[in-house]
Amino acid sequence: MTDTAAFRSVLNMKILVTGSTGLVGKALVSALAKEGHSVCRLVRPGTNANDDAGGFNVAWNPETGELGGAAVGPDAVVHLSGAPIGDGRWTEKRKAVLRSSRVDVTRALVEALGKMNVKPSVFISASAIGFYGNRGDEVLTEESTAGDGFLADIAKLWEAEALKAEAWRTRAVLARFGIILAKEGGALPKMVTPFRLGLGGKLGDGKQWMSWIALEDVVGILKMAITNAAVFGALNVVSPQPVTNAEFTKTLASALHRPAFLPAPVLALRLALGREMADALLTSSQRVEPRKLLTIKYEFKYPKLGEALYSILEQN
């Protein structure tokens, strides 16, 4: 194949995307479609995915992995499906849903893809920096060991299912997402509300590290991972400059031109969400370094928190 032919093939890929109605999925589908790729949004039958984002719907059953015929022969698969971690208290029933929507669904999807005559060249699966557990001030890279706790346990099982795609010589990428900052959804709008009311402040002592990433960089990193054969295995999808919760709070307050003097006591957070959920989502510390991205010299659009927040909050 000539270099020109290879270049054209990269520009005209068939890409399957799960979780296409979510924050990252919508943005990624739109970006890929604009670049001329054929994007198949894998959706449950009857789901009304947003056609404005580009691409087209292909039916799939997350429980069985059964795929519609139009999904055959993809060049790449980006698997972003999973029930929202922060929606609802972590009852045993809810925890089972969170686990199944990641572990069981990934297993079913990989098995379905494995039955295709032509396998995808790359399988990118969402994961999370919750893999590392609560690690204080320790600097965490892709080589760091897994931590303890509910989120870490899910991430380990989730990633193990995704890595089974390597059995067909497919390049598997485990995108360990940090806190994704975007105006459209995710954690940021929930953070902003108390600050706009003048009720914002640090969580607990504010010493816990927050590893964040702007949505635009998430999309850029995923697009790069689809085409860059040097990217495989665990990939920390975070900015190169994590901050403590106290620093995050101060920067967010400045971007909103609001005060930040009402800290939320740990006890209050635990009463509101339950001890396990509050500790895992709000006071857990993960100081994560995107070592692989730095090694391949990925150029972050928003490496600094202040620049990211000011840009996002200024969007109409």
∠ Cα 225 208 153 (to 5°)? 55
Percentage of residues in the chain having pLDDT higher than 70: 94
Q: Of the ranges 9-18, 64-73, 219-228, 285-294, which one carries the lowest mean pLDDT score?
A: 9-18
pLDDT value for 1 = 33
The residue ranges of every structural domain in the chain are: 3-183+210-240+287-301
Q: What is 3-183+210-240+287-301's CATH topology?
A: Rossmann fold (3.40.50)
pLDDT tens for 155-169 read 999 999 999 999 999
pLDDT at 194 over 70: yes
pLDDT at 297 over 90: yes
**How far apart are the C-alpha atoms of 12 and 141, rounded to whole Å?**
33
Residue 51 pLDDT grade (very low, low, confident, very high; cuts 50, 70, 90): low
Give pTM, 2 decimals: 0.94
Residue 246 pLDDT grade (very low, low, confident, very high; cuts 50, 70, 90): very high
